[in-house]
Structure 1
Amino acid sequence: MKYLIALLGLVVVFGLALLVSSNRKSIKLKPLAVMLVLQLVLGFILLNTSFGYIIIRGVASVFEKLLGYAAIGINFVFGGLANEGAQPFFINVLLPIVFISALIGILQFTKILPLLMRGIGFVLSKINGMGQLESYNAVASAAIGQSEVFITVKKQIGKLPANRLYTLCASAMSTVSMSIVGAYMTMVEPKYVVTAIVLNLFGGFMIVSIINPYTVDPNEDILEIVEEKQTFFEMLGEYILDGFKVAIIVGAMLIGYNALIGMVNDIFLMVLGISFQEILGYIFAPFAFIMGVPWAEAVSAGSIMATKLITNEFVAMLSLPEYTKEFSERTLGIVSVFLISFANFSSIGIIAGAVKGLDDRQGSVAASFGLKLLYGATLVSVLTAIVVSVII
């Protein structure tokens, strides 16, 4: 039965992507089929094999170590602030982003990260049938962040046609930054975080190649990566401050969104006798169902999905423990991988603002297809969840 539901889910996802396609005749079916098979194979390896378990445990242990090192700095500044046994979210989950951001800066400065991003991007371009710039951008978005990535390709931003710019922006919204992966792993099982990151990379190319198909002229597919000329300590200071800004911004958004959701839920309960999140749950329940969630759990799963869409993934992840007893292990896995992306309304402004800061005209272009970006990125999350539902 789960295979039939997954097949239905794939038909719905690809059908919804086809519905808004800018050029249906240019869709390349072979790369789509190859990437779908790769998703299934990689997902199976990561979630169902001993080799995958070793990879997951290896990645998880690295981040556990990094979080431990981050705690040294955090305790030096904030030690004694919390009560004995307390686990403040800002201190334990968000502040480690500062340390991980600093490490990313060091890897960037030493040219290790750019080399990896170029290499992986080149290999991906041979699989997805798209340009090297698009493939590099997808990998770089996951490595250094959805807004920072545009700085590395700022020489090309002003020259890109709207269709290629859409692909770059869609990649930035479909992935997650490595600087916050450690934070995710404190709220979601590491195996689902790692699997989602890998599958979203291919899923992003699949959905974009349906919504926004085109062929890149090899003469125009020139990858010029801009590297800022800074001293080591200038770079380190910048990345540390950037990490702290991310932690503060996420913390502020969590305070505001959680408070607003609580208020709106109470208003709906008083007026209609049902909370706002429950209403959203019923709206999103069909999507949860085609992702492989049993109908008995689909409304609750739909509520978490909607929360992520209208707020952000952190708010949704924080609500997951409320459903631990209600959800089966399989549903928890499906919902977890859905949450691992930047597909939410606030990302539209972040991405459009990042592009506008580099090129005013292109920033307006990026803003004009904001809702289409969110539409595509959400389909990527649904596609990843469907693939995982077949495996677990």
Structure 2
Amino acid sequence: AVLLLALPAVREGFLALNTVVAALSKVTAAGTEFAFGWLGGGAPPFEARPGASTFILAFQALPLVLVISALSAILYHWRVLPAVVSAFAWALRRTLGLGGTAGVATAANVFVGMVEAPLLVKPYLARASRADLFVVMTAGMATIAGTMMVLYAQFLQDAVPGSIGHLLTASMLNAPAAIVIARPLVPAAPEDAIDDVRMEGLYASTMDAITTGTADGLRLLLNIVAMLIVLVALVALVNMMLAVLPAVAGASLSLERLLGWILSPVAWAIGIPWAEAGTAGQLLGTKVVVNEFFAFLQMGRMPAAVLSPESKLILTYGMCGFANFASLGIMLGGLSAMAPDRRVEIVGLGLKSILSGVMATLLTGALAGLLFRVFG
């Protein structure tokens, strides 16, 4: 974070990563236009009305998940991703003394999802200590997958300059933050560590990596679309019921207003000015109650004057994690399938992992705000 905010050369290097995001979006558009025509971003066969938009989220933005998922699988099979994960795991061991199962899984969470990361150490989960298991769960909640990172960077490209660099930095910072938060909550004993951990191969060939990665991406895309439809509908339903209640301060009650009131002190505590804390609290609440996808999408669509650049930066770091109730179900299902004998223990740590994941991302957000004031 210091390098990104303090050194212009590093900042420009991270800004250049936006070119990579743009290139991935462009090649994805080539595929969506071929498959869906104007629905996928091609020229529409009609004249759009002034002010109207032909942008369709499900057909033009979300298919990026398919391409990133396939590329991630290829890089894993070619041993590029495992090499990066091993290097980051070594750094965690040298700086925080975290090795074995928890170290490799935490490092992997920076680049892959909360279910994919534990898969790399699946043979060791059954005998991992309770403390290491909790670190794995917290790291999953405190980071985001590379597939989603690129998508969120696309959402924030106008709101946060160099968004992909900030999201990557946030995910890297959230990994050690997860360890710092998780260890006091579930302390480890010296004999707990399993030091000899080797990441398993997942694919038989490059073509197997492409097909499997694409299939995994398709499941993720369909899940995102389905969750968006349901969550937007549920939020609208809650707002409809709240609107029946008496108005407060001249406006109807809504879920967004309630979350803003409840979490505005938290937003202020991590460095958001009080004048913007209500809006920031709404986004933080949306992130925890709904998911970070919806929160980043909302922030990217907000008028520029609603939040200051500093507040947007703090929220980018503070919301960069999977810690929400929908993700909890995904993680519990995945880990329980990998270590069925530990299911009761995993479920018992579930709610605590959301709390620790949120605390880790908020800690990183506060740090980003501090560094922005010093170097920004």
- Asked if Structure 1 and Structure 2 have the same fold, meaning a TM-score greater than 0.5 normalized by the shorter chain, the answer is yes
Residue 181 of structure 1 pairs with residue 161 of structure 2? no
Q: 2:345 matched to which residue of 1?
A: 365
Q: Aligned to 1:135, which of 103, 107, 119? A: 103
Alpha carbons of 1:375 and 1:323: their partners in 2 closer, same or farther (altered >3 Å)? Answer: farther
Which fold has the larger relative contact order, with Cα–Cα distance below 8 Å and residues 6 or more apart in sequence?
Answer: 1
Q: Aligned to 1:387, which of 354, 367, 370? A: 367
1:204/1:380 contact within 8 Å kept:
yes
Q: 2:288 matched to which residue of 1?
A: 309
Q: What do the CA deviations read for 1:125-170 (whole angstroms, capped 9, x no partner)? A: 1101222432221121222211112221111011112221111111
CA distance in 2 between partners of 1:212 and 1:323 (Å):
42
2:89/2:99 contact within 8 Å kept:
no
Alpha carbons of 1:358 and 1:133: their partners in 2 closer, same or farther (altered >3 Å)? Answer: closer
Alpha carbons of 1:92 and 1:80: their partners in 2 closer, same or farther (altered >3 Å)? Answer: closer
Q: 2:250 matched to which residue of 1?
A: none
Q: What do the CA deviations read for 1:298-352 (whole angstroms, capped 9, x no partner)? A: 1111111001101111111222233532212211221222221101111111111
Gap runs ≥5 in structure 2: 248-252
The 5 Å alignment of 1:260-279 reads 260-273=234-247, 274-279=253-258
Alpha carbons of 1:81 and 1:122: their partners in 2 closer, same or farther (altered >3 Å)? Answer: same
Q: Secondary structure at the match of 2:237?
A: helix
C-alpha deviation, 1:229, in angstroms: 5.1
Q: What do the CA deviations read for 1:246-274 (whole angstroms, capped 9, x no partner)? A: 11111111111112112211221221421
Q: Secondary structure at the match of 2:183?
A: helix
Q: Aligned to 1:227, which of 198, 201, 211? A: 201
Residue 156 of structure 1 pairs with residue 130 of structure 2? no
Q: 1:26 matched to which residue of 2?
A: none
Gap runs ≥5 in structure 1: 1-42
Q: Aligned to 2:133, which of 142, 150, 165? A: 165
Q: 1:212 matched to which residue of 2?
A: 186
Q: Secondary structure at the match of 1:186?
A: helix
CA distance in 2 between partners of 1:267 and 1:219 (Å):
51
CA distance in 2 between partners of 1:134 and 1:193 (Å):
22
1:281/1:301 contact within 8 Å kept:
yes
C-alpha deviation, 1:215, in angstroms: 4.3
CA distance in 2 between partners of 1:220 and 1:389 (Å):
36
Q: Secondary structure at the match of 2:111?
A: helix
The 5 Å alignment of 1:322-337 reads 322=302, 324-337=304-317
Q: Aligned to 1:236, which of 192, 210, 227? A: 210
CA distance in 1 between partners of 2:192 and 2:9 (Å):
37
Q: 1:200 matched to which residue of 2?
A: 174
Structure with more of its chain in helix, by fraction = 1
Q: What do the CA deviations read for 1:167-211 (whole angstroms, capped 9, x no partner)? A: 111111111111121111111231432331222122112212332
Q: Secondary structure at the match of 1:81?
A: helix
CA distance in 2 between partners of 1:74 and 1:264 (Å):
35
C-alpha deviation, 1:218, in angstroms: 8.4
Q: 1:121 matched to which residue of 2?
A: 89
Residue 110 of structure 1 pairs with residue 39 of structure 2? no
Alpha carbons of 1:192 and 1:118: their partners in 2 closer, same or farther (altered >3 Å)? Answer: closer
TM-score (norm 2): 0.88
CA distance in 2 between partners of 1:48 and 1:88 (Å):
38
Q: Aligned to 1:90, which of 25, 47, 58? A: 58
CA distance in 2 between partners of 1:193 and 1:120 (Å):
17
Identity fraction in percent: 24
CA distance in 1 between partners of 2:303 and 2:100 (Å):
42
